[in-house]
Amino acid sequence: MIERIRQGAPTSRLSVLLPELPLAGFGFLTHFLWEMLQVPWFTGMAKASHGSVVWMCIQASGGDVLILLASFWFSSIVFGHRRWLLEGKRKPAITLLLAAFLVTIVMEWLATGPLERWTYADSMPIIPLLGVGLAPLLQWLILPPLIMWLSHRHMLGCIAIRSSRSV
């Protein structure tokens, strides 16, 4: 099936033609869940209204999706195509992971330092040399592999459905 896509076989599934769609969808859902779970590790979030916490987590998840997509595009440029996610290639996936991880380190450092966008609660473990929280870094070590796996499986499912209809 993957060979048919590689050779340009027609398919009407947008998620196969646009791997960004499942990445963004699964990315938003998983990052939103993570953002909600890490609320206690940020100053002031426990006292904020439920609605404002949800809204802040929606915004943070949107930013996470942008980091994910930018990292996907970077990896796709480095490896010369966007099919690597469908094909299950490891090197582009590792490149995405490293790019997103580095962006997160810089963004967390800026947000908790010079930009003063948010602060960590005393309960947040801080990585000594980086000065950033452990939870945001774990987020970018754990979620991207899960998101890429979910997206890959989703795209394969779309191809299988399409193939079964054309038989």
CA distances from 16 to 7, 32, 36, 57, 109 (A): 13, 24, 30, 28, 36
Instruction: Identify the pLDDT of residue 167.
Output: 58
The token pair that represents 70 in the structure block? 């930018």
Domain that holds residue 63: 13-165
Q: Is residue 123 a contact partner of residue 40, using CB atoms and an 8 Å limit?
A: yes
Name which of 149, 144, 152, 155 is nearest 15 in CA terms: 155
Note the pTM of the prediction, 2 decimals: 0.88
Tokens 């796709």 sit at which residue? 76
DSSP H helical ranges for the chain: 2-6, 14-17, 20-37, 50-79, 84-87, 90-112, 134-165
Q: What is the DSSP letter of 120?
A: B
Segment 145-166, tens digit of pLDDT = 999 999 999 999 888 887 777 6
d(CA 38, CA 24): 20
Segment 5-27, tens digit of pLDDT = 455 444 445 656 799 999 999 99
Burial class (CB in 10 A: 0-12, 13-18, 19+), 105: middle
Q: On the CB side of 1, how many CA atoms lie within 13 Å of its CA?
A: 19
Segment 61-72, tens digit of pLDDT = 999 999 999 999
Name which of 72, 52, 70 is nearest 60 in CA terms: 52
Has residue 2 been placed in a domain?
Answer: no
6 or 36: which leads in pLDDT: 36
What is the SS3 assignment for 133? strand
* Predicted confidence (pLDDT) at residue 52 exceeds the cutoff of 70: yes
Per the structure, the count of domains in the chain is 1
Q: What is the DSSP letter of 124?
A: S
Has residue 159 been placed in a domain?
Answer: yes
Widest pairwise Cα distance in the chain: 60
Has residue 6 been placed in a domain?
Answer: no
* Distance from the first to the final alpha carbon of the chain: 13
* Predicted confidence (pLDDT) at residue 131 exceeds the cutoff of 80: yes
